[in-house]
Copies of this chain bind each other. A is one copy, B any other.
Amino acid sequence: MPSPKYLEIQNLLLQRIKNGDYQEGQLIPKEVDLAEQLNVSRPTVRHAIRNLVQGGYLERRKKRGTIVTQTKIKQQFTHVIESYNTEIQNNGLVAKTQVLNFSTEKASDEVAEALTIKPNTEVYKLVRLRSADNKPVVFVVTYLPIAQLPDLQKIDFTHHSLYSELAKAGLEITHVSRKIEVHPATEEEAQLLETDIKAPIFYFHTIGFTKDHRALEYSIASYRGDLNYFMVEIDKH
């Protein structure tokens, strides 16, 4: 199935943003000029631009035109519960997951505390490196209690999302508690995420809960600071 025309144009414009043809803070060409240049209709160009505005890459400025605001990936993990793949696709990028390790081990004090199980209970340890358009975005280590998920190791997390697999098992994650830190990249992070040692890294600790308030997931994620930003929306109660 060929992808819709606007998506083709969207990816092409995104490519130009990513490789610096269109620079941060600079205007992109007018709709009418882009339509002519790319040999597509104006509505198609408009559709592509609208998506990139929603993705946070472009911003319309009154009277001036459309400028490149942001070359980072907009992440909503601080605001909604959504799978990594959905987040990345919302940015018009191709998400990929590499499973570096999927084994079982005895829960450390830290893991046991997070999952409210006894230390030394057997847990899964799932280690994934996730990318967008082949650039590494986040390195994440996830611990899950075996007792509640006896068949998990049959699943190939290269192609399946953890959250949808949990939901399928009747254990949907409906509440997430997340601690956000930053730190300078360690050697391991720098190597895996293809960035410099000591570059700023977003460092998340997450506990995911099911509807009945059971802690089912404990994840430690390292996001490249130069590639990602996060949004929060807060209402006064």
Contact = CB atoms under 8 A, between A and B. Distances in A.
Nearest to A172: B236
Contacts of A173: 236
A59 B109 CA distance: 11
- Residue of A64, A79, A198, A236 most packed against chain B (CB within 10 A): A236
A199 B183 CA distance: 8
A179 B231 CA distance: 5
Interface in A183-237: 183-184, 198-202, 225-226, 229-237
Nearest to A230: B180
- Residue of A59, A200, A202, A231 most packed against chain B (CB within 10 A): A200
Given A179-B229, A182-B200, A200-B184, A174 B235 contact: yes
A80 interface: yes
Given A179-B229, A180-B232, 20 more contacts: A59-B113, A79-B232, A81-B236, A174-B236, A175-B234, A176-B232, A176-B233, A176-B234, A177-B233, A178-B233, A178-B234, A180-B180, A180-B230, A180-B231, A181-B225, A181-B229, A182-B202, A184-B199, A200-B225, A232-B232
A71 to B, nearest CB: 12
A154 interface: no
Given A61-B109, A202-B182, A175 B229 contact: no
A229 B204 CA distance: 10
Nearest to A177: B233
Contacts of A237: 80
Nearest to A224: B182
A164 to B, nearest CB: 13
